[in-house]
Amino acid sequence: MQNHIVTKLLKLANIEPNGTAPWDIQIHNPRLYDRVLREGSLGLGESYMDGWWDAHALDEFFARVLAADLDQKVKKNIPLLMHAVVAQIFNLQSKNRAFEIGEKHYDVGNDLYTAMLDRRMTYTCGYWRDAKTLDEAQDSKLDLVCKKIGLKAGDHVLDIGCGWGSFAKFAAEKYGARVVGITVSKEQLALGTKLCAGLPIELRLTDYRDMNEKFDHIISLGMFEHVGYKNYRAYMEVVHRCLKDNGLFLLHTIGGNRSVTHSDAWITKYIFTNSMLPSVAQIGREIEGLFVMEDWHNFSADYDKTLMSWFANFDHAWHEVKPPAGGLTSKYGDRFYRMWKYYLLSCAGSFRARKNQLWQVVLSKSGVHGGYDSIR
């Protein structure tokens, strides 16, 4: 019975179990059907990690599944309902939990991220409009951010969620800016400090709620996804108090098409602890009375290209980061490889299906005199 139900659902996405198309699912364990219907996305992801199924083009498998809304057609299940209830009751992104995402995701290993990312180690969506390589796309994105806030020599900028300091280093070297970057990852701070040595850059291990200084401009690239809906207003209030009256704030974030209060169960458990994607409505509500929305730029299709480039780098370098034969104590192994592959390619498929968006929002405190010129 479960076999028939899942096969019927997959047919809606033009996916055939054990078919010959690159996106067709190859089933190695028939218990998969019951597990997916019982556990939803968590069961689908964990069963892939367990080797119960494969798809040659995993990214396209997910693009088709999500475009057909199969995730919405699978009925609610107990693990998913419990995940939603917990997110409603508790503030999973409270200050005392702020460093969990750093420890569980960003601290996983600088060797992994060095192999996967561009030469600047920029762990956010590239801008591919005039770019042919990942390095070019990330340089274009960083330059786009600088231009959108009107960055000039001597400006003092706060980077909320600075990663390994890619924006800070770019802004200091190319524009002569001074930058304070904050992160909740000890590994990012250690390597980022080395990469930014000799430049007017200060990187700190700090939660955004502890910031109370004035800056000419504020930017945040790929950090807002960790803030949580219960803290959106507090986050915006921090930015407001730290931004000078004539400054600009650029928010670069992944977004969702619907307002939610929790994230996908598999992503939360294995990749981005306590994460969730904001919606247009949620961002709009929380900036009301604090900011003027000057510009809203969606280039979400570029994240598909970025994620595919990250996977290509990761896959190519896997032999350098995986454990040697018999290296059972290594933090990387076959299960980690399947987990990371699933993460990167399922996300690529989600952006391809236009289920996830990538926004750059430019905000001012009182409106730009004479109007803001949108930059693309």
Point out the residues that are catalytic. 347
For residue 340 the two structure tokens come to 């990371």
How many C-alpha atoms does 23 have within 13 Å on its Cβ side? 16
* Rounded Cα–Cα distance for residues 341 and 317 (Å): 13
Q: What would the DSSP string read from start to end of 145-174?
A: HHHHTT--TT-EEEEET-TTTHHHHHHHHH
* Rounded Cα–Cα distance for residues 341 and 230 (Å): 31
For residue 77 the two structure tokens come to 């299940």
Torsion of CA 302, 344, 279, 360, to 10 degrees: -30
- Total number of residues shown for the chain: 376
For residue 253, the SS3 value is strand
Q: Annotate 119-150 with b (16+ C-beta within 10 A) or e (fewer).
A: ebbbbbbbbbeebeebbebbbbbbbbbbebbb
DSSP-assigned letter for residue 323: P
For residue 296 the two structure tokens come to 């809203």
Q: What is the CA radius of gyration of the chain?
A: 21
* Rounded Cα–Cα distance for residues 275 and 325 (Å): 35
Return all residues near 39 (Cβ < 8 A) that are at least 6 apart: 46, 77, 79
